[in-house]
Structure formats: C-alpha cells, structure tokens
Structure 1
Amino acid sequence: MKTAARSDVIVLGGLTMDLTYFVKQWPKVNEAVQASSYELCPGGKGFNQATAVKRSGGIVNFIGSIGNDNFSKQIIGNLKKEGINADGIINYKDIRTDLIGIIVDPSGTPGFIGIRQSTYQLTPNIIETKISLIKNAKVLLVNSEVRLETVIQALTIAKTSGLITVYNPAPPEKLPENIYKLIDYFTPNIWEARMISGMNNASASELATHFKNKGTGTALITTGRDGCVVASDRGLKSYMAFPINEVDETGAGDTFCGYFAYHLSKKEPLEECIRIASAAGALACTKVGGRSAPTASELKGFLAKNKGRLL
C-alpha cells in the first residue's frame, strides 16, 4: 500500500471550471449584456485555497472529485502545474465536472451561479478511505462546497487526530449545533456569517461573538475592505485591511484562508497569521480570476512596502 504523503495543509473542497464574464453593469431581467472579456480556467474554492497554500510555500494535499471530461483533464493538469498533490482526487467516469459561472462588475464585485455534481459525490464513506491523508497533515482546511455530512466527518477525523481545523463555511448553509466544537478557526465573510446565523443586520463584532459562543475556538469574520473581526479566548479584536487598487475580489477570501492555514501550520502567532493572510487576500484583489493568490516572494515585496503599517 502506498504511504500517504505528509503535508502542512490538507484541503477538502471543490474542483470546478470557472467561466468568468467581466461586464460594465449587471443584467436586468430579460436584458442581454455584452461582456468586455471573459476567462475560462480551473477553479473552485478548494482549488483556490490549495493554490494559496502552495504559493505561500506550503506542502498541500487535496481531497476532491471530478468528472470524466475535458474539464477534468485541464484541472488535473493545473494541479500538477501548481505542485498540488492529487492522490486524494477521485475521477468519476459517469459524472460531469462542476461548472461555475461568475459575473464581475467594474467595482470588482463578483456574483456566482453553479452546479455541483462531481463534488457532491464526496460522501463520509469516501472520506474514511482518505484517513491517512488527513492524519499526515498539520491543518485541515475545509469549505462547504462538499456535503455537510462530509464536512463533519472530515472535521471529526482531523480533530481526533490532533490537527488544527479551519472551516470556511462557503457557500453558506444552516449548520448543526454539534459542528462548532470541531472547529478551531471559523472563517466566514460577513455575508456568509449573517446567512448562517440568521442575524441579518448584525455587525461583524456581534457575529464573531455569536459564533465564538457557539463553541468555535476562534471566530474570524472577514469584511473585505473593512478588514476582519476576531473573537478568541483573548477577547474581541478588529484588524484593518491593506489598501489596494481592486480589480477582482473573486479569489480574495480563498487566498486569505490558504495563507492563514499554512501559517497556522507553522505555529505562528494568530496576529501574524492574520497579517500575512490579509496582505495575501488584498494582493489577490489586484489580479483577475479565482486562483489569484500571490507567490511568497510577491507577498514579501508587498509587506516590505507596507512595513510601517499596523493591523
């Protein structure tokens, strides 16, 4: 039997093809809008997060599933190009690879429409066959692209195996009460946090406190240009965002999570993990597409220019 490769971070999430349209305005009902340009490339929150881990300097393994089509071949090729271990990826012959449509307006704000077919094939039973991959990692980074019961199974295995667990609950859905005790770091954006909690008008501080009280180790609510708010055992604290000229914020959250998870695996202080992840997320907004994570050297240069800046 092949020995599972060791990693800094094991990512469980989606592998998709992303079709991104750049438009001057959002289409209204029955209106046809011409895009100024488009991109077709592999993506998915899982792929984007794994790419961020790898570009940050980490060793990353991936658990995911794809179909049997030209899209799946492009995805595997891009995984190899990024240096992401694909041993945990399952190819289903009778299923199509997931496709996501993205519309980006001039402000860089994206909207999404998609279908999950291949990703939904990942069941708790499948995760049981990937236990060695999970146990050989330092951090589990998982999102809600996969089935909720699969998320819970992965978090349970990781938690009992001594891993740090990071859960990015996107796309958002109502969560069972028993999931929170399995989460060391809970990282929704403010819109996702409001959807999950039902607190539609709550502030980031109120939401962070709410999820901390639910049982998560640390609740970290990202708010885009306004930075993030963190509720931990040390209390509540706000962090400013890095100022940038934003082009497309599609992959910013995934980049934040990937860099955050990797630096957690290095056992760096929480504030340093947030500083680095915030800078990486900001840089991602200056590029087009979901897999817009900067390299470690690009981030180093950006941080050097912002050396005197405090969070």
Structure 2
Amino acid sequence: MKSSNQILVVGSSNTDMVLQVPRIPAPGETILGSHFFIVAGGKGANQAVAAARTGAEVTFVTCVGDDAFGRQAIENYRKDGIDTDFIKVQPGTHTGVALINVSDDGENSISVASGANNHLLASDMEGMAEAFKGAKIVLAQLETPLETIERVAQLAESNGIPFILNPAPATELRDGLLEKVSILTPNETEAALLTGRKEAKEGDLGAIADELLGKGVKTVIITLGSKGVYLRDSQHREMIPGYTVQAVDTTAAGDVFNGSLAAALAAGQAIREAIDFAQRAAAISVTRRGAQPSAPFLHEVVNSLF
C-alpha cells in the first residue's frame, strides 16, 4: 500500500567529482586544490534523496548509463529507500558527470556533462503512468530535456497532482509550462531570467513574483540563500527569513530545500511551515561537504537548534 506522503521526482542523476580549492579559479587560471572526492549528485537525485531522508516515500524517474556510475547510483537510491523501478538505463551512454570546484568559503562552480540525462525523453513518460498513481507531489528540475519536463507537467495536471518546478539551471520557459506549475522555486538569477531582467534586486522581488503569477504560476518561492525566501501566492506576499550558519559547501543547498519542501507539503504542512522546514534542512546541508551526503535526515531537521 502506498503511503500518504508519496512524492514523484523526475530529473537528473550525476556523479560529482569534487575538488576543494582555496578560491574559485578565474578563466584561464590553474590553482592547486587540497582534497578530491567522488559523491553522488544531480539535481533530480539530490532532491529525491533529500525528500526521502526528510520523511517522504519517493519514486525517482531518471536515466543513467550502463556503467559503474549508473549501477552505483541505483544502489545508493535503494539504500535511501527510494523506488527505483522507473529508472531508465541507456546502453552505450555514460551516466551524467559534474566537475565541481568548492572554495574554502563554501562557494562553488559546476560544469556538467549530461550524458544519459539527455536520454530521459518525453516519450518515456508514456509508459510511466504507474509512477504518478498515488503521488501527492510531482517535483522536477531542468537538467533533463525540456520537452520531458513539459510532458511531466501535463501528466501531473491531468492526474490532479500539484507540480513543483525548480527552474535550474536557468533557462527560458514557455508560458504553457508555467501555467501548469503549482509552485515555482527559482533563485535570484533564475527569477531574473524568467522575467527578462539582467538581475533580480531585492526591491524587485515583488514585481518579479507578480509577473510570474501573471504567467499562470500558482505560488512563487524565490530562494535567497541565507537571507531567506520571498513567498508570493494568493494569500502571501512576504520575505521569510533564513538561517545563518558557517557554510563549508553550498553545492546542494537548493536541492535540499526543494526536496524537503516537497516532503513537508506532502506530509500536510502549510506553505509557510513547509518553507521553514526546508530552510532548516538547507542550512544543515551547507555545513557538510558533498551533494547527497549533505542532505539531513528528518530527526536532524526536527531537532535542529536554529
């Protein structure tokens, strides 16, 4: 029997190769790093793991290659209790790989070779009707083909399931997709791009959110790192403060926020309560290194002393 807090996550699966550096190198510059490690990553996978660890029953739809990285990824998802029955394995293609520089102050720069993620096709969704059954939330990002995400949004709408879209990496989106989005979670850069601006200043957040609502989005949550989030829907128009911690690696903070937000909403929390829960989870994550290894468990978020 499916639990009442089931989430369907559709998105990318990557293997992250992380180098600790004193600072992010400038173009053309070579600097020496101190530590190197390999961890599981990918925005879709990060969000699936974050949701599973914070209490949701998660089904993950992704595509991996028929390589060692892909096999290891599936094994890791199962260890977190994630349903892997709908993961596609693409022969002759490498699993997605990300090369990440993490500076001593916790900032990062990321380059991605998408690999198998590009083979998660809109047509694949036609055989995954079972994955949508019982889902309380559908969550997606933009590291897989946009046509696939548009089809996921259509299926979520036709099944009456709220659809959360984390529009990352930043790209332009058609209004037809935005009309199907229940909750949009851009950061400042992504929010600016979606509304044709060069940047999103704090004083512009209300206008940006209103413009996105005008495109059909039901709820806009603009994430601002430790400063918090700006929430705009039919009942709210406000800044919600975040939590300040000593960051060591911000790589997956946004993913942890999105996965934990989906888990909290699926568990029945109201939007402001769910945002606070997600911000606590994200704050914990930046005090740890790595993408999925940084995602906290439910008891850690509940017992956090912020």
Q: Fold match, TM over 0.5?
A: yes
CA contact (8 A) 1:48 1:254 kept: yes
Aligned residue runs from structure 1 range 163-202, under 5 A: 163-202=161-200
| TM-score where L is the length of structure 1 | 0.93
Q: Distance in 1 between matches of 2:75 and 2:66?
A: 14
Choose which of 78, 81, 93 in structure 2 pairs with 1:80. Answer: 78
Whether 1:61 aligns to 2:63 is no
Gaps of 5+ in 2: none
For residue 144 of structure 2, give the secondary structure of its aligned residue in structure 1. Answer: coil
Q: Does 1:226 align with 2:227?
A: yes
**Residue 241 of structure 2 aligns with which residue?**
240
Of stretches 274-283 and 258-267 in structure 1, the one that deviates more from structure 2 is: 258-267
Report if the CA contact (8 A) 1:4-1:132 is conserved: no
Alpha-carbon spacing, 1:178–1:113, altered in 2? closer, same or farther (3 Å): same
Comparing 215-224 with 261-270, greater Cα deviation is found at 261-270
Indicate the larger mover: 250-259 or 3-12: 3-12
What is the rounded CA distance, in whole Å, between the counterparts of 1:101 and 1:69 in structure 2?
A: 18
Deviation at 1:6, TM superposition (A): 8.3
1:118 counterpart residue number? 116
Q: Tell me the SS of whatever aligns to 1:10.
A: strand
- Structure 2 Cα separation of the partners of residues 230 and 177 of structure 1: 20
SS in 2 for 1:253: helix
Q: Is the 2:189–2:199 Cα contact (8 Å) retained in structure 1?
A: no
Q: Residue 240 of structure 1: CA displacement?
A: 0.5
Show the counterpart of 2:49: 51
User: Quick check: 53-62 or 234-243, which moved more?
Assistant: 234-243
1:7 Cα shift?
6.2
Calculate the aligned-residue CA RMSD, in Å: 1.6
Q: Which amino acid aligns with 1:185?
A: I
Runs of 4+ residues deviating >6 angstroms: 3-7
Instruction: Name the residue aligned to 1:153.
Output: 151
Whether the 8 Å CA contact 2:188–2:199 is kept in 1: the answer is no
Distance 1:6 1:121 in 2: 31
Alpha-carbon offset, residue 27 of structure 1: 2.2
SS in 1 for 2:115: coil
Alignment-derived partner of residue 260 in structure 2: 259
Aligned residue in 2 for 1:301: 303
Given that residues 137 and 164 in structure 2 are in contact (C-alpha distance below 8 angstroms), is that contact kept between their aligned partners in structure 1? yes
Aligned residues: 302
- Partner amino acid, structure 2, of 1:300: V
Q: Percent identity?
A: 29
2:132 to 134, 158, 161: 134
d(CA) in 1 for partners of 2:215, 2:87: 33
Where does residue 217 of structure 1 map in the other structure? 218
What is the CA–CA distance in structure 2 between the aligned matches of 1:192 and 1:10, rounded to whole Å? 23
Give deviations 1:58-101, integer Å, cap 9, x for gaps. Answer: 10000000001111121112111111110110111111111101
